[in-house]
Structure formats: C-alpha cells, structure tokens
Structure 1
C-alpha cells in the first residue's frame, strides 16, 4: 500500500491518501462533510479490497483530516476537484465511487465531470443538494448575512461549520434538478432511521438517473452512519454488485 501526499495544484494544499494497487476497477471512497478517510466504512472497505486484490483509494479532502488547507476555505467544487485529481493522478482505467453522505453528492458531480472514468456508483446515505433541503430559512439568512453558521454535531464535540462560500457552491451545483446523465450501475443504500437524510431522498434520487441499472436498498433500522457490521456487509455487497455489472464474466 502506498501512503503519501501529493499537491493538488502547483500552489494548492497537499492531500493525504492511502492507495492500494490491485485489479480494477479502482474503488474510491468519498467521505462525508467534515469527515475523513479514517472512518469505519472507509477502513473496512479497504480491508475487503486488500483481501480481494482490488485497487482501492481513500483520501482526505483539502482542509479535512491529514490534508493541508483550511476547512472554511473549501467548497464542494474544491472537494470534487480533489477527488478527480487523485483519481487521475493515482489510478488507471475505470473507477467505482463509493460516496458517504455528502460524498454521495461529490460522486455525482465527479461522474458528471468525468464520464469516461467513472463507471459505477454506490451511495451510502447520499446527500446531494443538502444546501437546499438541509438548512432552515433562518439558517440560510444567517449564512447570507454573516457568512457562516455553526450547528451542534451529533458526531463530534465540535460544532459543524458551514460557510456562505460552501453553501453558494452547493446551490450552484445541485444535481437533483433534472435527469442525472449517468448510464452505469448504481446502488443506493439508505437507512430509514436516518435523522440527517430523509430516506425518501434516496428513492427520489434513484428515479432521476438516466441509467436503468439502479437499485435502492432500504435498511429499516439503519441510521445515518450505516457503520454496523451488517451495514458494512451490505455496502460491500453493493460494491460487488456494481463490479459484477461492469465485469459480468468475472
């Protein structure tokens, strides 16, 4: 396994990543908002990929985890570009993106930008367009007037910060405003006890893909994290399903 950092741009922040070479397609894990590559799902998928001899990439967006940069300077477009830069710099051939929460939004943006490289998608409590539906009117007004908001986090002792720049970037890059031009296999895994992403968002998202090879798997007792052993097993099954669609003879 390679563990290193490379510059995103000549003068941009250096990105931390773990890359495991192997057979393709390369599985790429995209973390959620204010998350990093050390989470349960990212690490568990890496262990599975190693056991299968599969190529795998997990990384930290700029301003997150071990990567350089200030979190409050980032936008969702920056993070999409981080993902694309590492995919293009470190991998060859097709990639299957596994997007957790906000990572599910990043994966849609990346697939739109690089249809020649992105072959399959697995969404885990995917949260595209959450700048639209995930904030109250009062919070949006605070963002516009004061440039940032802080809200208590259920996953950290520190509040979650959102900036006006991030919010505006999200609003300018909403994906669920029409057909999503992706033709590869898609698996969407969603907990029905998710307090952050209403499960109906997953079923709506599924209808908007141009692809016919789309399935939504609802976990009745699943929460937003979907990090239990049985959830991890389902995520791995989703990745295997997508790979089998891409390589039916394997």
Structure 2
C-alpha cells in the first residue's frame, strides 16, 4: 500500500487518502457509514489496481479513519464535496466510483457533480435514501427535534449514532423519488440476506437511473458486507470489466 497523504480543504479540513497512479479511469472506492479505507474491500480493490497497473484512489471522509475531525459534523454533502475536491486536486479526468452501502449513495451524488468525468459506477449493497426508508417515523421526529439517535451495531461494540445534521442533509439529498440523470455503465451487487439494506433497493435504483447500461447481480446467500473471498472476487471482476476495456482503448 502507498503512504497516506492529506488534502487540505478550503476550510482547513484534512482529508486522508492513498493514491496509486496508473492507466485507465481511476477506481475511487467510497466506504460505508463509519467505515474507512482500511476495510477489506477497499484494500482488495487497491491491491488489484496496483497489481494490474490501474489507477486507484482511496480516501477517508472527514471525521472517519485517518481523517481528523468530528464524525458528528459529517454529512453526505460535506463528504461528497471532499470526494470531488480530491478528484480535482489529483487532476483525474476519468473515474469509476465504487460505493459500499452509504458509499453507494455518495457515488451517485459525487457522480452527478463530476459530470462527464464519471465513466462508471459499482455499487456494493448501495443504500441511497436510507435516512428516509431506514429510519423509523418515531426516530425521524427525534432527529427533527435535534436529538441524536443510537442503534445496536452488529459490526462493533459501540452503538451506531445518527446525528440530526446528517439526517437532515440526507433528507435534502433523496434520489429515488425521480430519475437519476446518470448515463454511464452501472453495476450493482447485493446480497439477498442483507439485514441492513433490502436488496430491492438495488432494483429500485436500477429503475431510477437514466443509464440503459445497468446490471444488478444478486448474491442469494450474501450478507450486507459482501466481504467473503468469493464476494470480493466478484467485486474485483466487476470493477476490472468496467475499467480494463477503457484502459486498453486509451493506450
């Protein structure tokens, strides 16, 4: 793995990232909620890119992983701006965004902001609009009143917080209610034993995307993380199939 570098945002935020230059569109991995670039899927994508000479970018949103800051200040809009700022700062002209869970919502928002630079999307259990469908009505009322809610966390010892600022920003960035104006190739991977994000969300997303080149792969025994060896192999094949033909065409 390459060394961690930091990008300074205009307000002084420091965004940790790893970047491996290479051929073709740059694979940009976007972690899920409270996750970071040290996760197994992100690491596997980076190592695959290095082994095949592809360009790859990993990053930690502010307040996550190696990026300093308070997680409670995070929001989709804030983190989307950080993604776009890094792409700009590195001078990346063509990118394929790969988003896991919440990262699958961020890949859509960042993709809309990147315009013609976006060459593809790979969603792993993508969770667009989860502040709407994933939050109980009673909890929405608490969040609207400015309270933080906490839920059991099956992936760690600490409960998972949802802060009112994050929730309100999510509600302002809902996408599944209308057409999503993206025309690039899209590949969505979703486990049918996902207890956190219903696999039907990927089908809804496929319907709302304007692109005609959208494929959904359902893994019947797959869970939310899709981090088994077979799941990661599928992810790497999917990413490579999107990027390698474009890399060859650019040579």
CA distance in 2, matches of 1:220, 1:91: 40
1:226 maps to 226
CA distance in 2, matches of 1:242, 1:209: 17
* CA-atom RMSD in angstroms: 1.4
Give the Å deviation of 1:91: 4.1
SS at match of 1:66: coil
CA distance in 1, matches of 2:124, 2:168: 24
Give the Å deviation of 1:116: 2.1
Answer whether contact 1:99 1:126 (CA < 8 A) is retained. Answer: yes
**Structure 1 unmatched ranges of 5 or more:** none
Matched, 1:8 2:6: no
1:196 maps to 196
2:170 maps to 170
2:71 maps to 71
Answer whether contact 2:111 2:118 (CA < 8 A) is retained. Answer: yes
TM-score, normalised to structure 2, is 0.95
Over residues 61-114 of structure 1, what are the superposed CA-to-partner deviations in whole Å (9 max), with x where a residue is unaligned? Answer: 001011011000111100111111111112422000000000000000011111
SS at match of 1:56: strand
1:86 maps to 86
CA distance in 1, matches of 2:169, 2:30: 18
1:207 maps to 207
Give the Å deviation of 1:117: 1.5
Answer whether contact 1:20 1:50 (CA < 8 A) is retained. Answer: yes
1:241 maps to 241
1:60 maps to 60
**Structure 2 unmatched ranges of 5 or more:** none
User: Pairwise mapping of residues 62-211 of structure 1 onto structure 2 (< 5 A)?
Assistant: 62-211=62-211
CA distance in 2, matches of 1:184, 1:53: 23
SS at match of 1:116: helix
Give the Å deviation of 1:146: 4.0
CA distance in 2, matches of 1:71, 1:170: 15
Give the Å deviation of 1:249: 4.7
